[in-house]
Chains A and B, each alone.
Chain A
């Protein structure tokens, strides 16, 4: 068990060292001890004061039922996704009669555990102003643990529970539609301490009117700027990225700094109209920064992608496309010579030869990737087999077994293996290469095993997508029609095959190799960040009839 915090200065030093090394058990126990011992809290404060402020401290307050915890449930994962280390303090009221408390903010602040996220519920006990007395000490401990962003959610605030603004660099006041009339907005106290207004539950009636009223609330004693008003919906995710963009642009100020010292907010952040302007509905929050380039989400710089079946055809092309978009690529396949040939042409690539149907080979691919490149962001499950057409009644049992093993079972096993690191980092994209013959029948090119395996892959994609959707890992599929590859080499120059394709395909031709590039890049990258469980057919209209 980890070393616990005690009151002596020697053991406190050891405990602080453990916290600085990332020991969250000691961190948790230190906060408990500080809650129960003012003397120890003072000792911790004095020990950590010299280090100064290390994190952006963000206060979140608002009336009970304003959606604060739900908002944090959307904002916090976004901070984590952007590689911040985040500490969260959730403060709920303690009973003045018994000292007991229901600390239930976690029920609404739904999130997955993450190594760079620490969340702590705190009873207000004898604290006041919407905070607990231990709040400042807990913030310092979180910063000592490594948090570069600390969010503090106050108790559901009355109009004068405003102490959080004395601890935070920036204070958000959340307000849901139905807050009250314009007179409520004009009052001092809670509404005055807001550096940023967040209209939560923006999908509900009255949100636009409330935002317009808040935009007209004036600077609250600040000079030179009105306060941004952002509309958010944790349910749909609308406005969350814009809010985090805005918060990331804030800069820490010394503890005790006043809200007027907060870094100025640009006019681009202002969602409401200036006070002097006629009242009008605020502009919607942009999903990305106005300066972002349209192609930026397709950029894979810094990402690591594994491509199975990369020795030839589509797999080779996929590896080249991902590499061209900036990714480091891991090439797998059975033929080591071909892999080495390809890696020689790709600057950021490694080859791991092996048979994807063998568990040991699959594990070697993952282990080599993590050891040499440190992470896995993308998996392209491309390896697959098919055979000569055989009527279903004559299909050999072993052909069935082999096809299912390569095209379906191995795909699932690879997805399982990459899920562990992807879920831990709350980010990842798996792209399964199925086929139009996972969507419609293969016949007259009869291969029941192939059709069944690819159809299974379509619904495996849905299942994995839904299971992992909230945890940052997306799973999608591409269903190519007829493309040139080793599998289809015999068809390219065969007249009867070409007649069959012209007859069945609305575009009357096979696909070109480059005609999968766009959809591959879309699904592998953040360009498809709201897309999961989908199978996109790239088939010249084959399945549209």
Chain B
């Protein structure tokens, strides 16, 4: 049994969105960087919070292609707060339009990947957020 910190991340997209290339690419990059990556296709934004609680994840990454970038993210963040897990950071990626950015920042997302970022930057962002989450949780214990 490993005693090293193994970051757990939840990557998700809508079940109705078949565009999964981006999320699979990020999942493999994170796996190869030593992350445990839980994948789900959510039906409702509240599903994401429910799974995040049960899976005790350190970071949530939400991928968008077609729409709902701000409203769905707001709903996910709201559901996390309702579940008393507002401490889990949410990052978004995929097709993020310029006019989405302000709304996403207002919703409280911790990072936005609009395409073109290096794997290294993505991985380090996830790692830093995961370490921060876990440290806060340990401090609260």
Contact = CB atoms under 8 A, between A and B. Distances in A.
Contact of A113 (B28, B30, B34, B50): B50
A99 B51 contact: no
Interface in A1-20: 1-6, 11
A38 B27 contact: no
Given A24-B53, A25-B85, A103 B39 contact: yes
A125 B2 contact: yes
A4 B85 CA distance: 12
Nearest to A122: B36
Interface in B31-84: 31-41, 43, 46-47, 50-51, 53-56, 83-84
A41 B1 contact: yes
B2 A106 contact: no
Nearest to B37: A102
Interface in A22-76: 24-25, 28-29, 31-32, 35-38, 41
A248 to B, nearest CB: 24
Nearest to A29: B56
A155 to B, nearest CB: 14
Nearest to A1: B84
B16 interface: no
A27 to B, nearest CB: 8
A173 B83 CA distance: 37
B3 A36 contact: yes
A100 B2 contact: no
Given A5-B141, A120-B54, A102 B3 contact: no
Contact of A118 (B37, B54, B83, B138): B54
A100 B35 contact: yes
Contacts of B5: 36
A112 B31 CA distance: 26
Interface in A95-119: 95, 98-104, 106-107, 112-113, 118-119
A169 interface: no
Given A36-B3, A125-B6, A28 B36 contact: no
Interface in A311-333: none
Contact of A95 (B27, B32, B41): B32
A133 interface: yes
19 contacts: A1-B140, A25-B84, A32-B56, A36-B2, A95-B32, A99-B4, A101-B37, A102-B28, A103-B38, A104-B39, A106-B38, A107-B41, A112-B43, A113-B46, A113-B47, A121-B38, A123-B6, A126-B2, A127-B1
Interface of A: 1-6, 11, 24-25, 28-29, 31-32, 35-38, 41, 94-95, 98-104, 106-107, 112-113, 118-121, 123, 125-127, 133-134
A-B residue pairs, 6 tightest by C-beta: A100-B31, A4-B141, A28-B56, A113-B50, A133-B1, A6-B141
Given A95-B34, A125-B1, 14 more contacts: A1-B85, A2-B84, A4-B140, A5-B141, A29-B137, A41-B1, A99-B6, A100-B36, A100-B37, A103-B39, A121-B38, A126-B2, A127-B1, A134-B1
Interface of B: 1-6, 8, 27-28, 30-41, 43, 46-47, 50-51, 53-56, 83-85, 87, 137-138, 140-141
